[in-house]
Amino acid sequence: MNTAKLLVHYPAVPPGFSYGRGIGIAFLDTGIFLHRDFIFPDNRILMFKDFIEHKSSPYDDNGHGTHICGIACGNGSASKGRYAGIAPKSHLIVGKVLDKKGNGSIENVAEGISWILKNARRYNIRILNISIGAQDGVQKAQSLELIHSVETAWDFGLVVVVAAGNNGPKPMSVTAPGISPKVITVGASDDDELIDSHGQHYSHYSGRGPLSSTIIKPDLVAPGSNILSCCHKKSYGQYSYTSRSGTSMATPMVSGAAALLLGMYPKLTNTQVKYRLQHTCTNLGFPPNRQGYGQLDIARLLYD
């Protein structure tokens, strides 16, 4: 990941700083490629479950999931540390719930969440990253099912981090499940940058809130435009990196930051993690319906 975009650098870390060691982050996405940044020197992909093709070995036929995992957990091994993710010693638990086109059903996501909860204790899963959202036209009943599933994970005790979606800048454009008041919803702090998505160029894409006059969404923002992370296939026989944009990319930055925090303070509850994330942000001066509490600030999160 292009960590320079965070505009934050770790201060001198204390002896024994874990970088999220042993903290399990679960991802529901398009899968994961066996990139060197996840498997060397130790394979940190503890579990993989394919809800689409029911294959047993990890794979990613789209690339979105691999990119997300790299932002949160990549150790930069293939780039000599240059493109390390936020929590490079955390563990990955990956459910493939989206197909090669990035499409999937709410039923698959719900099934994936149930699978994660069944294995949470075994693999010390503390965080669930969902960089996906319901598309326009999804029936209200299906959106409610998706929201119910993520709130079940939250009530179980997981730190659930979800994307605000890319339907901005109109008000109340945060997508489900990001409209759940319980979970941590992440927007893109730099969506004023022009991005390229499937040949179309646009900006100001990050989903806007609020949910109501009293509930702010998104909860916070992080960089999401033109983020460099792990690619799902090799280039000329070498492990490679690629750039992608969207609130999907901002979300794992927050998941990785949560893993760092739990590595330092493992007894924190998900509610306490959410509070610290919100109240250590840097105010960018944007309206609350755009930035929530502000931009993720890892140094303040860990040391304030």
| Residues designated catalytic | 29, 64, 248
Name, in order, each residue with C-beta under 8 angstroms of 246's C-beta and a sequence gap of 6 or more: 163, 166, 188, 195, 197, 205, 224
Output the six-digit token pair for 228.
Answer: 């460099």
Determine contact, residues 164/220, Cβ cutoff 8 Å: no
Report the interhelical angle of 247-264 vs 64-73 (nearest 10°).
30
CA distance 252 to 2: 13
Name, in order, each residue with C-beta under 8 angstroms of 179's C-beta and a sequence gap of 6 or more: 143, 147, 185, 211, 217
Determine contact, residues 90/259, Cβ cutoff 8 Å: yes
Straight-line distance from the first to the last Cα atom of the chain, in angstroms, rounded to the nearest whole number: 25
